[in-house]
Structure 1
Amino acid sequence: MTQPSGWYDDPQDPSKLRYWDGVIWTDHVTPKQAPSLEQSTIGMPQQATWGESGAAGDRPAYSRPAPMPSWPQQGYVTPQATTPDGVPLSGWWKRVLARILDGFITFFIALPLTGYFYYRYFQAALHYAEQQVQQTRSGSTPPSPFVLPAELYRWLIPIALITVLVAVVYEYLFLTRSGATVGKKVVGISVRLRETPGAPPASAVWRRVGVINGLQLLSFVPLLGNLAGIGELLNYLWPLWDPNKQALHDKAARTNVVVGPQPKRPR
């Protein structure tokens, strides 16, 4: 089934429309607003132009349409999702890459504060693993690997609290000033209110970081952590099927992650 002829999003340039004649894409393009019936020349005969000599009696030489581009034939292109004012929304993989980059950055920023706790945690973890091996060799039943001993939580909890605190301060400072963390700037995306361009206000940023880091903290709580882990997974996967490409923290803050930087606020 072929798509009816008409103006559709240009597959080569999302900021323009290109005319589909029912079979192939033509070389007629226009800005996002399609031309009116009076302005359109599609399907109309080309205007006659005179030969180079311009002498009387010369036969008019009709201009020929430009050759069709040698693109593969294709059908209707699904319009790219945008904000209400037309800014393209970020793809899911860009968001994931930005989150990974920011995770590395906040890890190294927090490392001077968490290094000692990591050292003690790994010491306790090795001791716990040795105990399990010895109990297995002696024939006794080792403790469940799904329930960590209190000694491990003694060092794990400070690590989680410091890491989350650093992540909250990091994201708050960057988003309220420019709408983008370092990771988002690297991949070329930014955060804004869905209805309004510019860096999001502090209230929206607090709601975003509250959902993200609240779920992360809950994941360290025994038993409740399993449900929090499912919530974290759903939060990050939600843009894949959401029509507005919003994660759960975007919905809480009424924000969107879009392509490109945010305009600076006037002073």
Structure 2
Amino acid sequence: PFMADWLAYPALGAATLLPAFVPVHPYVHMIVLASTIVYVGCHRALAQSALAPGVTTAETVTQKEAMRFPLYGSAVLVGLYAVVKLVKKEYLNALIACYFFVLGAGAVQQAVRAPLQALPAVRRLKTHVWRVNWQFWDKDAPAEKVEFNALDVPLLVIGLALSFAYTRTKWWVLANCLAVCFSVCAVEMLTLGSFQIGCMLLSFLFAYDIFWVFGTEVMVTVAKGIDAPIKLLFPKHLRADKPEFSLLGLGDIVIPGIFVAMMLRFDARRGLRALPYFKSGMVAYVL
């Protein structure tokens, strides 16, 4: 799995960057980029599942959380819709830019760190431990342990530079770079408690999408009104002065992605080298 994961990174980079210079049909671009994100995220999730419970940072989605997800998602969506309609766009974009400047830098660092961490030279780097109490108002609260090495500093600088460049230029390629990092990290860090929970979550969100996307203007208004890397952009005409874009929300990548990642973990746990469940899930996602 490591080799397949590592070799997929150049493909992911090419799918993200090449369409900025070579015209690609938006639907081809969408399928290739989204499926590559899912593939990479699934293999990273498999690596997370192999870690000890106290070491892994993955979060497990329970049945109650799956049932509440559409309700919470709807509440957030309606709230964002109200903000888009009521708040002046320049104020809203300034607030969002500050938020995603920090969040984007962390996502870039996390996304790029994993494949480099497997290199022998990086493994030999000394790990430093920083203990910090985020609940500074409570002196008795347990301190959180933050581990980092010499690789994290340049990666964080790169992440900050990429986020800053996006906030200044709003170039769609930079937006896609940040969105890809968000998606890969989300698929890696979220796991489903069981197959039933996965089916429940997908079924609820299927109805959620039908209502909010096709039944109302809310989803489209929020996606177009918020200028943030919360969606992938696929230009219809690359050389146009004002190019139009096809959109794909990150939820359409992350939610199916964590389900396919569960199939890969099942194959690995059963020792199925042909990975039949994972391959079936990938084919179903592409179709």
Give the TM-score range, shorter chain: under 0.3
Q: Structure 1 length as normaliser, TM-score? A: 0.23
The structure where helix makes up a greater share of residues is 2
Larger Rg: 1
Q: Structure 2 length as normaliser, TM-score? A: 0.22
Larger relative CO (CA 8 A, sep 6+): 1 or 2?
A: 2
